[in-house]
Structure 1
Amino acid sequence: MRLHTHTWGTGDRVALLVHGIMADHRTWRRVGPALADLGYRAVAVDLRGHGASARGERADYVPERLADDLVDTFPDGVEVAFGHSLGGLALSLAVERLAPQRAVYVDPAWRLALGEGVSVDMFAEFKHATRGNIRMLNPRWDEEDVDIEVATLAAWDEESARALTPYSDRDLAPASPAVKSLVVLADPSTLVPARAAADLVERGFEVRTVKGAGHTIQRDDFDGFMASLDGWV
């Protein structure tokens, strides 16, 4: 399925941006223009069930289907691909077929520790979070990002969260990087704790941490996130 996209810039080099669960292309509102300033055509998708892309049944939202959508939407020509959280998992499942020169995984959801006091129902119920809830959980966000989160939650199909139940507590990280790959982590990262990060280094990934940043690194500390990309964009 071809996904809805939003583009910043007109450069010849293409940067693909894939958001995480509950979000859409607007999570990259500052990253996209920054990449455009570097000469990229930055193209951010809305994953199925998110933003302006099509909806489906629960089975349509499994990560493998999300990966297939990326390949359908970008059959060729990606120089660098970014995937945040669930978008990082989808990207890792598509990256060999997309064949970008470089991949950047931003706090990727390669382990969904749903058994540790977190359930898919909790994710689904967050669709109804208030502005106050969002602000409390993300004290470093700009007001515009809080506004965007309210809007993206309203546009999100929460069945995409329930589709993740079979993936709970599985190690979904690639055995090795299919292309030159950077992993940018929150501090601390609940999805990629220190031991898992060390394992990724052994597997051939470069790993960098943005000190003090929360899970949505590019919104928590935009300058720190862009600095972490030194040598990659």
Structure 2
Amino acid sequence: MRLATRVWGKGPRTAVLVHGIMTDARTWNRAAPAVADHGYRVIAVDLRGHGASDHGEIYTPAVMAADLLETLPAGPDLAIGHSLGSAALLLAVPRLRCARAIHCDPAWVRRPRDPAALRAVKHATWKEIRAAHPRWHDDDVTAEHQALATWDPRSVDALAHLPGLPPAPVVPSLILLADPSERVPPAAATTLRRRGWHTRTVQGAGHTVHRDDPAGFLHGLSGWL
């Protein structure tokens, strides 16, 4: 499936951004311009079942990775994925051939979750989103509320097919973690470092690091942009 995209900047280098579940490319509204300021043309996708992209009959990270490969230019200088988007990016990297990859609090390992409760988030009100994310800017809360209107809750199915902890990275790769990270706890982070992954933690940030602490997110990318 060819995905809808949003673009920031006109720099000589290319960065691609992949959002997590329930949201869309607007999750990067505050981070993408800052990345573009480092000399990038930034391309952010709407995953299948999210934003302006079509809904799908099947939702797995592998299918989403195939969508990325169909949509994004090959060989970008930088690829950034968040949560479920990081799982799709992980599977796409060998063929995407990006120079560097950054995985923000990646959803690589299955956790006990209630699929029905996750699907019910589609009906969250603006006030409920605000209460759940007290550190977000009001514009991010509004963008998330708008994203839920077009989100296909069947995409929760993808969380049953996560790839697990990966072996050594194919390209130089950074894992940027929440504090604490429920998706990559300390033991898993240690295992990943032994396999050649770089890890950093954004102190005090929740799962959506780039919205919880935009400045901390950018600081965490120092030396990788």
| TM-score, normalized by the shorter chain, greater than 0.5 | yes
TM-score, normalization by structure 1: 0.94
Aligned pairs (5 A) from 1:1-233: 1-57=1-57, 60-113=58-111, 115=112, 118-167=113-162, 172-233=164-225
Taking only the aligned residue pairs, the percentage that are identical comes to 52
| Cα distance, 1:8–1:203 mapped onto 2, change above 3 Å | same
- Deviation string, structure 1 residues 1-50 (Cα, Å, up to 9, x no partner): 21100000111211000000001000000111111111100000000000
In structure 1, the gaps of 5 or more residues are: none
- Contact 1:105–1:184 at 8 Å: present in 2 too? yes
- Deviation string, structure 1 residues 185-215 (Cα, Å, up to 9, x no partner): 0000111111111111011000000000000
After TM superposition, the runs of 4+ consecutive aligned structure 1 residues lying more than 6 A away are: none
Query: 1: distance between equivalents of 2:157 and 2:59?
Result: 9
Size of the alignment, in residue pairs?
A: 225
TM-score, normalization by structure 2: 0.97
One-letter identity of the residue aligned with 1:159: R
- Contact 1:121–1:162 at 8 Å: present in 2 too? no
Once the 2 structures are TM-superposed, how far is the Cα of residue 77 of structure 1 from its aligned partner? 3.1
Once the 2 structures are TM-superposed, how far is the Cα of residue 112 of structure 1 from its aligned partner? 2.3
In structure 2, the gaps of 5 or more residues are: none
RMSD over aligned Cα atoms: 1.1
Once the 2 structures are TM-superposed, how far is the Cα of residue 166 of structure 1 from its aligned partner? 4.7
- Deviation string, structure 1 residues 124-167 (Cα, Å, up to 9, x no partner): 11111112221111110010011011001111000001343354
